[in-house]
Structure 1
């Protein structure tokens, strides 16, 4: 999902964007951050993005770049609504942990407990789905995906689409990022809660913490302040490819804003949705069957910047890319949302996070 640049290109990228930071200490933090973002988001008349930096739960930088709608010549705003792509997985994982806290499931339960006819389901644990270690076939890698991409699929239809495919490895043997696992988790949430995934997320997360501008994605319903998605072709920008959001489902079909995502981060930090025990499960790292550690918890990559632990996740779906980085030690949250899959906020967001660490260390 996330492309890692070569060491050489990464070095050039970092050297270029850090040069103004090193040599212009008199610049304001805002202008330094603007310079970093404009290395990638530099077309004022094309699709752009929105970025936010928060410290200790409070916004210290929030700015938009480019256009939210090229055809209407509408400038991007910091309160535009974006498709999140795989950042949806955070919400799915927390929903599972909420149900565990309520005693309705256990992450060590086998899938077969809830879907008795799932092939090999007695050996695949909910834990394996959460950590991308299940070995089931990722539906995004199936050649037949185009046959359903614009169809309205029920969660059961989606699970049936991939469940009989040969597995890639035995559960727990390997980490391999997997969208099917999170689709199956969404189906389990529905079976256990008695609500649709959309209803569960809306009632138990969005409404509970005031995420008023977040929703399950739709291309048909009117979504106030929607940012429109684009691709870039050789002859210019085009509107994004249409898909049925019932296909990515619980692996990538939520929409949100910068402000709502800060509410989400603050709710997690203050245990407003899940207790400290369940929270620790989300942000722990786990081991494969051979004892090898993986850098993924439940719905988050567990990484570091300059030796300081971070919680990160990005997303990519037709016309949109997203990236969020949280540094628990300093309570720094950086998020970038883009309305063109030609612009990735991943490196920009991580560099900003590193800048904020440097700023903190220098007492700025």
Structure 2
């Protein structure tokens, strides 16, 4: 099975005319309203042009308690997960600019007992090239994710798990890198990470809804994340964010994150030379940023996930267009949600998905029927009159039409996009895409 872990948004292959038109706010409203009405998504979206916020909208609920539902608003605060890493990278470059640390400085200057500490540089950690094993993987993380762990306990976990590869030889995403960078920030500024973020970023930019969540700084714990199954949104257990520090402990809103990314790209947080280094891509990784192409247009940003909170933050420098979407419940694949919004923003053809518009005849399903595989997974597509059926691993389930060549089962969280001409099938589940090919 070819598994594509999409921590960026979909890289489109078509071209389009230069950007310059106004955002079609009404069409974005329709798109988000359809997703909300079909329980496919909950969350908030903000879009800016030329540093000015042009669009804001919230859908779904910030909390669901039996029959009591609290509607989400543009002020709803979300856990932003790994998007925190952009803040950490900014603070590291501020330290570099002030001569307090160097990018080629070794980890051994701070934590000499960690694996390969005398070989790993600050730059290696920013680029995810350290080789340090991710402290959330192969460590029974699910057993202690809601518990409090001290920095010393986490350092011991990283030490015990050792190194996955020689520093600088490849890139491999590891939360351990930015957890350690967060600790280095605390030691260098001589204050807690939360205070550094507040002093150096949020106060400066007046980000009133962005802060570090810890047990001692729990400003708003009312927003939960949810997974859709059994025909309803079900709450997901919360992690202890304090454990994740500079790797993923921040709370924010799309509006605040728009202001942050716009400030970063207008050199209000770091010098132009520092931003240039952050944007320098090695094997698809930048320093606290990722890059992606939408058609021929470049963008920079970062995605984040913790529990069922997902965040996407992207900025198009050429167009001076920024987009931030935060969600606490999503069944519809995030890659398709973001791509749909971008198509609307760039005035590209886009049909708003809706199962209510489906009127397929049984013969219309014939082009999808057959066996698809990737080597590791096999899927059989059959039909029952006008219903498409998917069979995998001995289980068969029905899918409903979402759009042309696109079907889904939101209760299971799986969506299926067919390309009959190329004889391919993409199976999507929130942030993962699996590519299968049709047999003879």
Aligned to 1:19: none
- Secondary structure at the aligned position of 2:302 is classed as strand
Cα distance in 2, alignment partners of residues 182 and 28 from structure 1: 35
Contact 1:322 1:346 in 2 (8 A): no
Task: Say if 2:213 and 2:242, in contact at 8 Å, map to a contact too.
Answer: no
The answer to whether residue 54 in structure 2 is matched with residue 60 in structure 1 is yes
Deviations 1:40-70 (A, max 9, x none): 44446x9711111111011221111111122
The equivalent residue for 1:36 is 31
2:201 pairs with one of 199, 202, 205: 205
1:31 shift after superposition: 2.2
Would the alpha carbon gap of residues 129 and 350 (structure 1) be closer, same or farther in structure 2, given more than 3 Å must change?
farther
C-alpha distance in 1, partners of 2:180/2:117?
A: 11
Q: Is the 8 A contact 2:23 2:344 kept in 1?
A: no
Which one of the candidate residues 274, 278, 282 is aligned to 2:278?
282
Using the alignment, how far apart are the partners of 1:87 and 1:80 within structure 2? 17
Q: Pairwise CA RMSD of aligned residues?
A: 2.9
Instruction: Tell me the TM-score normalized by structure 1.
Output: 0.83
Give the distance between the partners of 1:39 and 1:182, measured in 2 at CA: 37
Q: In the TM superposition, what is the alpha-carbon distance from 1:303 to its structure 2 partner?
A: 1.5
Cα distance in 1 for residues equivalent to 2:175 and 2:267: 27
Contact 1:47 1:69 survives alignment (8 Å)? no
The offset of 1:117, in angstroms, is: 1.7
Q: Distance in 2 between matches of 1:39 and 1:171?
A: 47
- Tell me, in whole angstroms, the C-alpha distance in 2 between the residues paired with 1:96 and 1:59: 28
The structure with the largest helix share of the pair is 1
Per the alignment, residue 230 of structure 1 pairs with 226
In the TM superposition, what whole-angstrom CA distance separates every residue of 1:190-210 from its partner, at most 9, and x where no partner exists?
121111111111111111111
Q: How many pairs does the alignment contain?
A: 335
CA drift at 1:185: 0.9
Q: For structure 2, which runs of at least 5 residues remain unmatched after alignment?
A: 14-21, 349-440
Match of 2:415 in 1: none
What is the match of residue 260 of structure 2? Answer: 264
In structure 1, what is the equivalent of residue 146 of structure 2? 150
2:288 is equivalent to residue 299 of structure 1 = yes
Larger radius of gyration between Structure 1 and Structure 2: 2
Q: 1:240 and 2:236 equivalent?
A: yes
Q: Is the 8 A contact 1:190 1:196 kept in 2?
A: yes
1:220 Cα deviation after fit = 7.6
Question: 182, 186, 203: which is aligned to 2:182?
Answer: 186
Does the 8 Å contact 2:42/2:330 carry over to 1?
Answer: no
Give the Å deviation of 1:125: 1.0
Paired position in structure 2 for 1:329: 318
* Residue 111 of structure 1: how far off its partner (Å): 0.5
Q: Going by fraction, where is strand more abundant, 1 or 2?
A: 2
Residue number in structure 1 paired with 2:309: 320
Q: Name the counterpart of 1:20.
A: none
Secondary structure in 1 matching 2:161: coil
CA contact (8 A) 1:53 1:59 kept: yes
Query: Structure 2: how far apart are the matches of 1:2 and 1:99?
Result: 35
Unaligned residue ranges in structure 1 (runs of 5+): 15-26, 287-293, 360-364
Verify the 8 A CA contact 2:24 2:344 in the aligned structure 1.
Answer: no
The 2-side partners of 1:116 and 1:299 are apart by 24
CA distance in 2, matches of 1:2, 1:92: 26
What is the distance in 2 between the residues matched to 1:251 and 1:28? 33
